[in-house]
């Protein structure tokens, strides 16, 4: 058995937090945009023949193409998600801690 992640250990120990998190996830997963995204991803998984066969593969978006990639690599990728890219900014630009700038 693999080691549980820090988040998994937290939710396993804290029942109230786990229940709150699951309630939020239920609401979020019902949103029309999320349903549409899930349907589209499932359709692509079926097209590639990897849906529901436990082969450890997912469809992934690489450079505008849809390719097969291991679940572990795809779901753990920080560079594939547009939100993460925007939050981090460009490589090497403004990455150093410049200290306290006085608030403004």
Does the residue 86 lie in any domain? no
Does the residue 67 lie in any domain? yes
Number of domains present in the structure of the chain? 1
Does the residue 104 lie in any domain? no
Does the residue 99 lie in any domain? no
Cβ contact 59:67 at 8 Å:
yes
Tokens representing residue 81 in the block? 């998600």
Does the residue 103 lie in any domain? no
pTM: 0.57
Tell me, what DSSP letter sits at residue 80? S
Tens-digit pLDDT profile for residues 89-102: 555 555 555 555 55
Does the residue 74 lie in any domain? yes
Measured from the Cβ of residue 59, the count of other Cβ atoms closer than 10 Å reads 21
Tens-digit pLDDT profile for residues 79-90: 666 655 555 555
Does the residue 87 lie in any domain? no
Which among 46, 47, 50 has a CA at the least distance from the CA of 69? Answer: 50
What does the DSSP assignment read for 25-63?
Answer: HHHHHHSHHHHHHHHHHHHHHHHTT-TTS--SEEEEEET
Tens-digit pLDDT profile for residues 16-71: 999 999 999 999 999 999 999 889 888 988 998 888 888 888 888 777 788 888 88
Does the residue 73 lie in any domain? yes
């Amino acid at each position: 058995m693999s080691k549980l992640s820090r988040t998994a250990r937290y939710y396993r120990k804290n029942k109230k937090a786990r229940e709150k998190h699951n309630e939020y996830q239920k609401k979020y997963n019902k949103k029309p945009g999320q349903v549409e995204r899930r349907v589209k991803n499932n359709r692509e998984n079926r097209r590639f023949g990897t849906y529901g066969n436990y082969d450890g593969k997912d469809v992934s978006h690489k450079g505008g193409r849809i390719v097969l990639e291991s679940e572990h690599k795809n779901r753990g990728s920080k560079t594939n998600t547009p939100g993460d890219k925007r939050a981090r900014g460009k490589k090497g630009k403004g990455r150093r801690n410049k200290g306290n700038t006085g608030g403004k």
